[in-house]
Copies of this chain bind each other. A is one copy, B any other.
Amino acid sequence: MATVTIDYKNVTSNAVGPEHGLTEQELSVRLKRSGRLLEEMASERATGGLAFLDLPRQEGTVEAIGRFVERKLDGIENFVVLGIGGSALGAKAVYSALLPPFYNLLPKKKRGKSPRVFVLDNVDPEETGALMNLLSPKETMFNVVTKSGETTETLAAMLSAVELLKKAVGDRWRDHVVLTTDPEKGFLRQLARRENLATFDVPPRVGGRFSVLTPVGLLPAAAAGINIKEVLAGAGAMDSLCSSAAPAENPACVCAVINYLMDTAKHKNVLATMPYAYALKDLAEWFRQLWAESLGKKLSLEKKVVNVGSTPVTAVGATDQHSQLQLFNEGPHDKLIVFLEVESFRNEVNLPALFPEDENTAFLGGKKLSHLIRSEKRGTELSLLESRRPNYTIMFSEVSPRIVGAFIMLFEFMTAVAGKLYNVNTFDQPGVAESKVATFALMGRKGYESRTEDMLAKVNGVAPEGNTVRCEV
């Protein structure tokens, strides 16, 4: 049975003291109130809101993806996602949790029939150039993913990919491109119609960072042979649970309330997620966007300036014990640490009893590596407790398609509840518009001429001599 267990005794005032911990009273008052938020969510949902919650029950998507994978990926050795932000992080999270580590380095026969999977989510000329050089176009499928169909970085990558394909396969470039975008609107949808390209839809009412359970995340996963039906089933089970459980037994409410109170009542403006499993690392990175972009807001729902949102940080256990733990234990009391742990690993390493004459290795001999990483986590937890740093643990019984789906839905649901606690619009992102306009102006895009001069003046500025240091080395 797949389970998710949240143990939050280490955020209580009993565990870390009243200055940094939450009293039973503080917790229970807020949890009780969050019952009302669940009701709000239910009624929004009943009137067509919160569409991401219904994705586990979407019809026909799994089948359509299955047909595409079966018919169109024959002979395809590389499946390349061109996307950024919500169009990249979810896909990465799902496949890196569920494929073996070093998957792209495995010889073909160990990958079964499945292609290597890449995500290009930047416009660095060195990275982009190297990837395009690496791929044999004839064996490559490019999945261009942008909900709006108009994301500049993604379109730039697409131009580069289509040029590569045209040179290699001419008019058959169309067989090597599949677009994931809005069903009606945007440039990509127009292009698909005109050029007769394969497409998948992003449901219009699902925002980019909540779109992993649409073809945005599901198509790359299925291409790599992952059982996406099980991913959706896990997500559906978690949604049922979070939609019906009373706040105190509701994992989404419990996590949202703790994260919110720690930030607003206990001044922990850094939310550090520490996965103690390689498989969960990119899920933590996915959550980093979800939390930051959903809750980092200037305005309250009443349009008052509030400037809220804690800063999500990922620290990988045990690795970052040797990088960030010193700061977590001894620095300012400004952090809440959330451990992500796995009960049962899919592979085990039994440590041999070599060099038993020395105590540094003797105690390791005959032990399992999972025992070590688990002990490291508990050691870290204890040290945080001793230094009165609040922390809690989300334990997953294993990493499976079902659990990955449950993970995604838990964090999405939790973020939606947190948005209500922070009293902000969880689903917009007005704070990125300005930089887009500036980029268009600086690139000389038509329609932005009036901004260009203004922008250039600002950027180039008049840097007083005293504000620049230049060195030759």
Residue among B89, B322, B375, B385 making CB contact with A85, cutoff 8 Å: B322
B331 touching A309 by the CB < 8 A rule?
A: yes
A352 touching B459 by the CB < 8 A rule?
A: no
Interface residues of A in 348-395 (CB under 8 A from B): 348-349, 351-352, 354-355, 358-365, 367-373, 375-376, 378-383, 385-387
B469 touching A122 by the CB < 8 A rule?
A: no
* Residue-wise interface mask of A (221-235) relative to B, using a CB-CB cutoff of 8 A (1 in contact, 0 not): 000000000000010
Please give me the residue from chain B that is nearest to A191 by CB atom. Answer: B355
Interface of A is mostly: helix
| A446 cross-chain contacts in B, Cβ below 8 A | 359, 362-363
Interface residues of A in 438-473 (CB under 8 A from B): 438-440, 442-447, 455, 458-459, 461, 463-464, 466-473
Can you report 12 A-B residue pairs in the complex whose CB atoms are below 8 A from each other?
A100-B126, A124-B369, A125-B347, A160-B369, A191-B358, A238-B471, A248-B469, A270-B311, A288-B323, A308-B331, A372-B439, A381-B459
A29 interface hit (Cβ, 8 Å): no
A345 touching B159 by the CB < 8 A rule?
A: no
Roughly how many angstroms separate A308 CA and B269 CA in the complex, as a whole number? Answer: 15
A134 interface hit (Cβ, 8 Å): yes
Count of chain A residues with a beta carbon within 8 Å of a chain B beta carbon: 166
* Known A3-B471, A187-B360, A307-B331; 7 more pairs at CB < 8 Å: A7-B467, A86-B322, A89-B323, A153-B318, A293-B326, A297-B326, A376-B435
B316 touching A313 by the CB < 8 A rule?
A: no
Please give me the residue from chain B that is nearest to A148 by CB atom. Answer: B360
A438 touching B327 by the CB < 8 A rule?
A: no
Chain-B contact segment, one of A44-52, A212-220, A249-257: A249-257
A326 touching B429 by the CB < 8 A rule?
A: yes
Roughly how many angstroms separate A126 CA and B102 CA in the complex, as a whole number? Answer: 10
Question: Which of A269, A292, A318, A360 has the most chain B CB atoms inside 10 A of its CB?
Answer: A360
Interface residues of A in 255-287 (CB under 8 A from B): 269-270, 276-279
A156 interface hit (Cβ, 8 Å): yes
A68 interface hit (Cβ, 8 Å): no
Roughly how many angstroms separate A385 CA and B460 CA in the complex, as a whole number? Answer: 13
B327 touching A292 by the CB < 8 A rule?
A: yes
| A380 cross-chain contacts in B, Cβ below 8 A | 435, 438
Chain-B contact segment, one of A34-42, A198-206, A332-340: A332-340
Q: How far is the CB of A298 from chain B (nearest CB, A)?
A: 4
| A127 cross-chain contacts in B, Cβ below 8 A | 101, 278
